[in-house]
Amino acid sequence: MATIQLNLATPTELAKSVLDIEAKSITELKGRIGENLTQALDTIIKSKGRVIVTGMGKSGHIGRKIAATLSSTGTPAYFLHPAESTHGDSGVITRQDVVIALSNSGETSELLNLLPLIKRFEVPLIAFVGKTTSTLANRADIVFDVSVEQEACPLGKAPTASTTAALAMGDALAICLLQKRGFSAEDFLLFHPSGSLGKGVLYTVGDLMIRGDELPLADENTKFLDVVKIISDKKLGCVILTDENGKMTGVLTDGDIRRILMKHLKVDELITKDVMTKNPKTTTEKALAVKALALMEKYSITSLAVCDEEKRPTGIIHIHNLLRAGVA
């Protein structure tokens, strides 16, 4: 792919050229994944320490991102600045760790200065390099070739496609580790306690649900029109129906009311249990608020009855409760 001439390109042409070059740099990585990935995954999974990621300059910035992605997806990681490492910071490396070193040239002096310590501690070294014949590649236990045909910079100077390739390979490694560890959505939320994702795991349904006198309850044998009045009074758009033992048997919603009125010409004598929605979706007080939200989204409903182990209603969680808490 030829480098576009800087003085002849329009901004649009130049931007498209950058994206084409960087996309190509990522696509070409697929052919370089094999035993090195398997070895890296096994090495990191078996280690009892952290992944120490290191790199200088732009590679360092990419390294910080890779370390952050690893940490947030279940693999504890730490970024070590190689220049600072030779002034005492290398003490963060333990014999239990794995090191990932990033260098396009593979000859970055600050990284090479770390090699004696890494080898003395017998710490596994994974290298992301642009030159597989470099010193770093030759000293590494596992090598990922992240070389690129050309940089996206028309001058061929600024690290662009090469840093994109390294970042993409880091993401691929992190996601494969996520899968191998069986890292779940709930695990992810635990690592993100701020924002709406975190609030979903901090709150349980019991923290946010409506209970007590505000709870819209009625016996299933109540007349339909009387239940409609309860729905209107409680202003939650639904009512929970129970049997003579207090166990939930169904719900009646605003939507149900509209459908019933269209189907029945006379509703004066209707008994609610004959027209209610039976076996509705429910949740429990201990369930995560984010799980309740997922259930509402999946079935396009705005509220869930909260029941105990004996199917007795203890509350109701409404989408508005989740919105006010910042979960939705």
Domains parsed from the chain with CATH numbers: 11-183 (3.40.50.10490), 205-324 (3.10.580.10)
Specify the pLDDT at position 157: 82
Q: Beta strands 277-278 and 282-283: pairing type?
A: unpaired
Quick one: pLDDT at residue 181? 87
Cα 34 to Cα 16, 17, 286, distances in angstroms: 31, 29, 44
317's tokens: 């969680």
Alpha-carbon distance of 76 to 238, in angstroms, equals 46
Cβ atoms 82, 100 nearer than 8 A: no
Q: Give residue 156's pLDDT.
A: 79
Instruction: Single out the residue of 174, 170, 189, 193 nearest to residue 102, CA to CA.
Output: 170
pTM value is 0.62
| Alpha carbons 245 and 252: distance in angstroms, whole number | 19
- From first to last of its 328 residues, the chain has per-residue pLDDT tens of 555 566 667 889 889 999 999 999 999 999 999 999 999 999 999 999 999 999 999 999 999 999 999 998 889 999 999 887 555 455 678 899 999 999 999 999 999 999 988 988 999 999 999 999 999 999 999 999 999 999 998 887 889 999 999 999 999 999 999 998 887 666 665 555 555 555 555 788 999 999 998 999 999 999 999 999 999 998 899 999 999 999 999 999 999 999 999 988 888 889 999 999 999 999 999 998 888 998 999 999 999 999 999 999 999 999 998 888 877 6
Which residues, 6+ apart, have CB-to-CB distance to 20 below 8 Å?
1
Q: What pLDDT is attached to residue 172?
A: 97
- Calpha distance 219→241 (Å, rounded): 5
In this structure, what are the phi and psi dihedrals at residue 36, rounded to the nearest 5 degrees? Answer: -60, -35
Q: What pLDDT, on a 0 to 100 scale, did the predictor assign at position 93?
A: 87
